[in-house]
Structure 1
Amino acid sequence: MTSLISTSRCLSAARGLLIATVSLLAAPAFAADESQIRFEVAAGVSAHARLLGDGSVEVGTNRSPARQVLPASTDEEGGGTRLGHADYNFDGYQDLDTSATLGQVNESVTVYLYEPASGQFRALAAPEASEISCEGFWSLTPDPATRTLSSSCRSGPMWYSDIYRYQGRQVYLYRSMRNAFLDTEALARVLALAEVDDAEILTVWSTWDAAGKRLETAIWNAFDPPLKDAPMPGRSASVVPDKLLLYSKAGDTSTKRYLLKGDRVELLDEADGWLQLRYRNPSRGPVLGWVKLPSYE
């Protein structure tokens, strides 16, 4: 039976956890009682948060005696909440987060951004879009270098990721992933992948603007979310046959364009047995087109 390179394949939990580990979050400074936390929001501003035991957290700062009571992340039993902090909007102020484990592996995260003007904490709303793999925030990781937030969750045997960015005060979906179904035998007849890794899972990554318009796609490893700005790199491969027809769009029946054996290309997208490629022509620059994968009918 022909194997598939697909995000639906079973993966080991250990491999999946590589993408879900929140390695960039600032380590929470727990008090002796782990139901509370004290941390420095900024120079001269300290915060104290404590769990109230009813699914909420009380938080305040030394700027004011007033305290806020906010909803906290909880597990299936309504508890299991952990408190932490990190700079989630890259403004130089530490923000409050609450997290809880759901389904043994998924880490639900609620974030409250510190607002220096008011001295209070405001909930960070998770975007909603049909292209989002993980609804809400999960194992949320801020990356100051790219000013992105990575959210990762597990569904069945597979880990998925969504990458977010800011437009003003609002967070929007910047990059998302979806299944890439590639028949490996058919693919091998037309393209040879460079440096194949048995643990590699190819997915289609998409880049979106703040208005929800898709800007580009690229086929890349599920465990290596592309965080840097466009253009995204596509999985590298080389042409196998002496001549490979290159069509303008999937489903076309005629073309005058073609690639030659040994040409290096990048995999960008797939659809119904078609594969979009990018060939970097030495004289004319990037050339995009679609190739039809062989069928066995």
Structure 2
Amino acid sequence: MDIKEGRSRIGVGVMLLALALAAAPAWAGARDALRFSPANGVQVQADLAEDGLIDVQILPAGTRQRLPAAQDADGQSQLSSEDIDFDGYPDLVARAPVGQVNEAVAVYRYDARQARLTALVPTTHGQEQCGGLMGLAVEAATRTLTSSCRSGPMWYVDVYRYNGPALYLYRAERMSMLGDALDAVVAVKQPDDSGPLAVWSTFDAAGKVLETAIADGLEAPRSGVPLQPVSGRVVPERLALYARPGDTATRRYLVAGDTVALLDERDGWVQVRYANPTHGAIVGWVNGIAP
């Protein structure tokens, strides 16, 4: 086993352990029936039905509902009450393992105006990676929700936060397609315990991309602070710096030894930022698959 393969396996092991630890508190109290109070003077009785739905009764209003549950291959799931929206009251959560390592999650919050439970559906503008609240972890300290999933050999992470009562996609990760060819263009030095490189993006509530950065794909960036891209040193004597990926003409160049921050990746092209001592920050794209 070579060094890179070993690092990859270590990284996957770290992610699996993190997911297990994150899910443990929720599953420890999970069951197929529970009673909880989502607001002062309100009681919810939730029971898993044989058809895979959740039978809900809300008192004193007397509201009855049948809600879809997250289901495993056998149509089963487990219920728990967790404070998902940080209002000090628990919400209804259904969790079920899907595949070997993924976990489907459905969340329902109490709507006092309707005296009903309503599904928590985040706004993502189609930029989420997991397609739902998978493997949901609640981070009370940062008031964020982290969704994680695996597709093939790749791990993905979506981070959500609230804008008022609405949940939106705050950060997302897509694995970088950069290979060994990048070493001939920009040499990136990472700690031995780092995972594969990934492109992290930060969004506002309207879905606008605020920033991107290439960083460790197995360690979610700290919430509330700017993304910290990895850096590398230019290898060729002259490295063309283009305005856009795929361009063939430019008058801008970097030289061997220049230190650049890696910001984004598209089809093997890498967006970098160079801190020019005279002209300030210079941003452009380099061909990461051909020197």
1:231 to partner: Cα distance = 3.4
Q: How does 1:49-64 map to 2 (within 5 A)?
A: 49-60=46-57, 63-64=60-61
Q: 2:71 pairs with 68, 71, 74, which one?
A: 74
Change (3 A) 1:212 1:73: same
C-alpha separation between the residues in 2 aligned to 1:147 and 1:97?
17
Conserved 8 A contact 2:124-2:207: no
Aligned-pair identity (%): 44
1:180 to partner: Cα distance = 1.7
Tell me which amino acid in the other structure corresponds to 1:161. V
1:22 to partner: Cα distance = 6.2
Instruction: Quote the residue 2:190 is aligned against.
Output: 195
C-alpha separation between the residues in 1 aligned to 2:42 and 2:25?
17
1:109 to partner: Cα distance = 0.5
Q: 1:219 pairs with 206, 214, 217, which one?
A: 214
Give the CA RMSD over aligned residues.
Answer: 3.4
Please list every run of 5 or more consecutive structure 2 residues that lacks an aligned counterpart in the other structure.
none
Tell me which amino acid in the other structure corresponds to 1:189. A
Tell me which moved more, 98-107 or 244-253.
Answer: 244-253
Q: Which has the higher helix share?
A: 2
Please list every run of 5 or more consecutive structure 1 residues that lacks an aligned counterpart in the other structure.
none
Q: How does 1:98-113 map to 2 (within 5 A)?
A: 98-113=94-109
Instruction: Quote the residue 2:110 is aligned against.
Output: 114
Which structure exhibits the higher relative contact order, with contacts defined as CA atoms closer than 8 Å and separated by 6 or more residues?
1
C-alpha separation between the residues in 2 aligned to 1:45 and 1:272?
53
Q: How does 1:233-252 map to 2 (within 5 A)?
A: 233-252=228-247
| 2:160 maps to 1:164 | yes
1:10 to partner: Cα distance = 8.0
Q: 1:91 pairs with 77, 87, 92, which one?
A: 87
Conserved 8 A contact 1:83-1:96: yes
Change (3 A) 1:28 1:18: closer
Instruction: Quote the residue 2:142 is aligned against.
Output: 146
Matched positions, count: 287
| 2:264 maps to 1:265 | no
Per-residue CA deviations over 1:64-119 (Å, capped at 9, x if unaligned) read 4544432222212222x111122222222211100111123221110001234555
Tell me which amino acid in the other structure corresponds to 2:70. S
**Taking structure 1 as the reference length, what is the TM-score of the superposition?**
0.79
Tell me which amino acid in the other structure corresponds to 2:235. V
Conserved 8 A contact 2:194-2:218: no
Tell me which moved more, 218-227 or 92-101.
Answer: 218-227
Change (3 A) 1:61 1:273: closer
Conserved 8 A contact 1:266-1:279: yes
Q: Secondary structure at the match of 2:22?
A: coil
Change (3 A) 1:281 1:228: farther
Conserved 8 A contact 2:245-2:285: yes
Change (3 A) 1:87 1:200: same
Conserved 8 A contact 1:10-1:157: no
| 2:284 maps to 1:289 | yes
